[in-house]
Amino acid sequence: MKPVSLKYYTLRYFSVIIPLVIALWAASFYWLIVDEVYDNIDDGLKDTELRIKDEITKNPKLLKTNEFGLAKFKFTELNPGDYEYKRHIYNAQMYMEYDGDDEPIRMLQSIFQFNGKNYQLEIYASTIEEDEFAFNLFLSLAGLYFILVASMVLLNHFVLKKVWKPFYSLMDQMGSYKLGEKNRIDASPGRISEFAELETGINEMIERSEKIYLSQKQFIENASHELQTPIAIMGNKLEMMLTDENMNENQLSRISELLQDLSRLKKLNKSLLKLSKIENTQYNEVSVQNFNRLTHEIFDELNELYAEKGLKTEIREDGIFEFEMNPELSNILLGNLIRNAFIHCPTDGNIQIHITETQLEIKNSGDSALDADRIFERFYRNSKSSKSSGLGLAMVKSIVHNYPNLSVGYRFENQHIFWLRKR
């Protein structure tokens, strides 16, 4: 199920619960009111009964009232017999002329003896129309429901929005948070203790991860630094063995192979060291770098080195690309990008570099696109080639990461294109 926003989630619950509560409340309210109303009417009827009975002792003619008229009561003389003298109140219907319909009434029926004769006294009072009352109640409750829901929506919209503001700000900041940038979350939680706690909790978590991240980075740098010396000693000893006159060709060839493996280890370690130095931002000195000049230098060098490959290479310049950065980093950045093209370009392929004022594109022949999402990852290699350390482009990415106004990317348009752009 697709998650809904906090606002609608609470609203959904309320819109279900409120009608239930209102219905329950309406039923008991209705029952209470009706009970109270009947109680009231009954008291009135009983009072009238007493007054009438009082009155007949003074004016026995009243007993002749045997039709409901103005007085809303009547007497009926009962046949002689044994009667239980008691009062009885009940609901009934009576035809009312004013609206030509039966209307609900409350009827008091009392049997009593007067001067040795039995009479039945009936008094009525018109009561509320229950169905109309129920309907009106329903209408007003429905109104109440809509008003409640509407105010809930408004509450959600304005009050909750205000109340949850720190939360949303927190969420925003969490989204843009990047490990290693040492930023703290500030949600300005105001007086809401839960948000203040959440903020503290998150900041503590960030601090812990930052610490771990930092020590890990430091560890990689220290480890590769410490590895340098044993690698150096090993290499030098192997080299010394090569100069030993007692070695036969087979042994020499083995040693040379060992030296090649060691050389790979050495380069890998150097790259790791450089990479962690870049990530630990140890290159602070900056000056304006002319990428055109740098490109020519690297390009010429590589053209000479890769002469055997028979590549067709070209630099097109439509502007001067200048950028203020650390000279060593600009060298690594361009060197890795351009070397990458030379390494992976097939024999007799093409390499083109196109420089404008804001962009530098390096294109080289190739038949299928690389995974643009993963190509800048550490140790990501196209399965076909194991020529490189797998750190060159990762280094490019880390360098660019240090300069917010620089971006780098890859796309495939019948050839591989790496671009470097000023923002």
Partner 1 sequence: MKILIVEDETEMAKTIETSLEQSGYRVETAADFRTALDKIISFQYDCILLDIGLPDGSGLDLLKELKTMKKDDAVIIISAKDSVDDKIKGLEFGADDYLAKPFHLAELNARIKSVIRRKNRQEDEFLNYKNLAVDFENRLVKINDKELTLNRKEFDLLYFFLTNPGRLIAKTSIAEYVWGDHAEDSDSLDFVYSQIKNLRKKLQQNGAEIEIQSIYGAGYKLI
Dihedrals φ, ψ of 79, to 5°? -60, 150
Binding mask 314-343 for partner 1 (x = CB under 8 A): -------------xx------x---x--xx
Which stretch, 91-99, 267-275, 352-360, 414-422, contacts partner 1 (CB under 8 A)? 267-275
* Rounded CA separation 335/392 (Å): 9
- Least separation, in Å, of the C-beta of 341 and partner 1? 11
Instruction: Return the closest-CA partner of residue 145 out of 32, 30, 17, 9.
Output: 17
Which stretch, 112-120, 138-146, 164-172, 249-257, contacts partner 1 (CB under 8 A)? 249-257
Tell me which H or E stretch contains 151. Answer: helix 130-154
Which stretch, 77-85, 277-285, 351-359, 399-407, contacts partner 1 (CB under 8 A)? 277-285
User: Are the CB atoms for 62 and 77 separated by under 8 Å?
Assistant: no
Burial degree of 155 (CB within 10 A; 0-12, 13-18, 19+): middle
Which stretch, 3-11, 124-132, 186-194, 247-255, contacts partner 1 (CB under 8 A)? 247-255
Closer CB to partner 1, 169 or 382, in the complex:
382
And the tokens for 130? Answer: 């229950």
DSSP single-letter state for residue 39? H
User: Are the CB atoms for 52 and 62 separated by under 8 Å?
Assistant: yes
294 is a site residue for partner 1 (CB under 8 A): no
392 is a site residue for partner 1 (CB under 8 A): yes
Residue from 71, 159, 171, 233 that binds partner 1 (CB under 8 A)?
A: 233
Residue from 127, 289, 313, 389 that binds partner 1 (CB under 8 A)?
A: 389
User: Are the CB atoms for 295 and 337 separated by under 8 Å?
Assistant: no
176 is a site residue for partner 1 (CB under 8 A): no
| Contacts with 292 (C-beta within 8 Å, 6 or more apart), sequence order | 317, 320, 321, 355
DSSP single-letter state for residue 307? G
76 is a site residue for partner 1 (CB under 8 A): no
365 is a site residue for partner 1 (CB under 8 A): no
225 is a site residue for partner 1 (CB under 8 A): yes
- Least separation, in Å, of the C-beta of 207 and partner 1? 30
**Is residue 168 classed as helix, strand or coil in its secondary structure?**
helix
301 is a site residue for partner 1 (CB under 8 A): yes
Q: For residue 85, which amino acid is it?
A: Y
Which stretch, 12-20, 168-176, 177-185, 223-231, contacts partner 1 (CB under 8 A)? 223-231
Instruction: Return the closest-CA partner of residue 173 out of 191, 195, 154, 158.
Output: 195
Residue bearing tokens 């192997």: 238
Contact footprint for partner 1 (CB under 8 A): 225, 228-229, 231-233, 235-240, 242-243, 249, 252-253, 255-257, 259-260, 262-263, 266-267, 270-271, 273-274, 277, 282, 285, 301-302, 304-309, 327-328, 335, 339, 342-343, 386-389, 392
